[in-house]
Chain A
Amino acid sequence: LAKTTQPISMDSYEGQEVNITCSHNNIATNDYITWYQQFPSQGPRFIIQGYKTKVTNEVASLFIPADRKSSTLSLPRVSLSDTAVYYCLVGPDSNYQLIWGAGTKLIIKP
C-alpha cells in the first residue's frame, strides 16, 4: 500500500524558492501525484498534479523522477501569504481513495 512521507515543517523567507520533497516508495502504476495547500479553517486547495517528469503551472512546478518514488513541489519566490500546510497525495485508486501525507507546515518569514 502506498504511503507518502514529507517533512513536518519548513521555514523560508520572502522571495526565496521553496522545495518540498515527498517520498512515495510504493506508488502504484496508475497513481497520480497531487499537492494541495491548506490554510487554517479552510478546505484544501489544489496546487498541481503530475504523473511523471515535470509539470509547471502559474503557481508551482512539480518534479517527478523516472522511478516516481518521490516528487518535489517547487514554489518560486514565496510570499508571506504562502504560509500554509502543504499535502502530498498519491492516487486515486478504483475506490476513489487517495493516500495523504501528514502535511508540511511551511512558514514564510519577512
Chain B
Amino acid sequence: DTEVTQTPKHLVMGMTNKKSLKCEQHMGHRAMYWYKQKAKKPPELMFVYSYEKLSINESVPSRFSPECPNSSLLNLHLHALQPEDSALYLCASSQAGGEKLFFGSGTQLSVL
C-alpha cells in the first residue's frame, strides 16, 4: 500500500464552523506533513510530525491545529477560518529522512 488517504475531498465551511481534515497512511512512514496550496502556487509547508511529535510549525495561525493520534494518522482541526484560508490542503508522508514525499489527493477547502 503506497497511498496516502485524505478525507474529505471537498469541504465548504463558514467562518464560525469547526471541522477536521483527516489523513492516513500505512507505509510505516514516521514523518507526516500538512501543506497548503493556493491556485497556481507550489505547496507551502504548515506542519511536520516526526515520530508522532510536532517538529515544525511554520508560523501557522492558531485557527489551524494539528494532531497526530498515532504513526498512521494525522488530523488538522479547523476553527474560525477566514476566506483567505480557502485552498487545497495536502497531507504527505515520508521515511524519517524526508527525501521522498508521498502526497494524498488533498482536501479542497472553501471558507465562506
Q: How large is the interface on A (under 10, 10 to 19, 20 to 34, 35 or more residues)?
A: 20 to 34
Name 14 extra pairs, CB < 8 A, besides A43-B106, A87-B42: A34-B99, A34-B100, A41-B106, A41-B108, A43-B90, A43-B103, A44-B103, A95-B55, A96-B50, A96-B56, A96-B98, A97-B45, A103-B40, A103-B42
Convert B16-60 into 0s and 1s, putting 1 for each residue whose CB lies closer than 8 angstroms to a CB of A: 000000000000000101000000111101001010000110000
A residues 92-106 near B (Cβ < 8 Å) are 92, 95-98, 100-103
| Interface of A (DSSP majority class) | loop
Instruction: List residues of chain A with CB under 8 Å of any chain B CB.
Output: 32, 34, 36, 41-46, 49, 87, 91-92, 95-98, 100-103
User: Residues of A contacting B45 with CB < 8 Å?
Assistant: 96-98
User: Residues of A contacting B43 with CB < 8 Å?
Assistant: 44, 100
User: Residues of A contacting B105 with CB < 8 Å?
Assistant: 41-43
B98 touches A92 (CB 8 A): yes
A46 touches B101 (CB 8 A): yes
- Name 13 interchain pairs, CB-CB below 8 A, sorted by A: A34-B99, A41-B105, A42-B106, A43-B90, A43-B105, A44-B43, A45-B103, A91-B98, A95-B48, A96-B55, A98-B98, A102-B42, A103-B42
